[in-house]
Amino acid sequence: MYAPSDVVNLSDGSVVELRKFYAERPLLLVFLRHFGCIFCREQVAELRSFPDLNVVFVTMGTVQDAADFRERTESPHPFISDPNKTLYAAFTLPKVTFGQLFTTQTFRRGFQAGIAGHRQGRPVGDPWQLAGSFLIGTDGKVLREHRSKDVADNLSNSTVRSWLSEPAKLA
């Protein structure tokens, strides 16, 4: 699978080709659910600790929604505004089922995220959309993928660092 070369809108108002982000070094493209999602907020906050990593978030919010969320979360990483879910479709990310939304695991993880200071908010975007993360090589080839199994299923920081530090082994 190869990443599309779509033109995307960034939260700063600029318009660029997606390939700009992986042309020189591998990219971790992280698809968020909705801005109110406690687990999305948690993942953005955790990755904030790694400003040097080539991470770009994809959101379903408008450019202004994405800009506001990025500012609120103090993320050093770029945000793509994809309210029509074009990239979500290109990467074939599915909708959540009831069984992926309300499980013992998601309640346990929600409690942990809450203890860590993250809060559930008002959904901005499709609350039924599942998330995912894709490691894209400099040639646009998807080297690794993580499709969330439920709403609480994010990549761990150690996996993110591992993927981005050794992508040449995957090519």
pLDDT of residue 113: 64
Query: Is pLDDT of 107 > 80?
Result: no
Instruction: Supply the mean pLDDT for the chain.
Output: 84
pTM across the whole model: 0.80
Tokens 């600790």 appear where?
49
Strand partners, 132: 31, 147
Written as six digits, the tokens of 69 are 């969320």
Model confidence pLDDT, tens digit, residues 113-168: 666 666 666 776 777 788 899 999 999 999 999 997 876 778 877 888 888 877 54
Domain boundaries defined on the chain: 7-166
> What is the amino acid identity at position 48?
R
pLDDT at 168: 47
Q: How far apart are the first and last CA of the chain?
A: 12
Lowest mean pLDDT among 46-55, 88-97, 111-120: 111-120
What CATH code is assigned to 7-166? 3.40.30.10
3-state secondary structure string, 96-137? CCHHHHCCHHHHHHHHHHHHCCCCCCCCCCCCCECCEEEEEC
Q: Is 128 exposed, middle or buried (0-12, 13-18, 19+ CB in 10 A)?
A: middle
d(CA 137, CA 153): 23
User: Which helix H or strand E contains 29, and what residues bound it?
Assistant: strand 27-31
Q: How confident is the model at residue 25 (pLDDT cuts 50, 70, 90)?
A: very high
C-alpha closest to that of 33 among 124, 129, 103, 155: 129
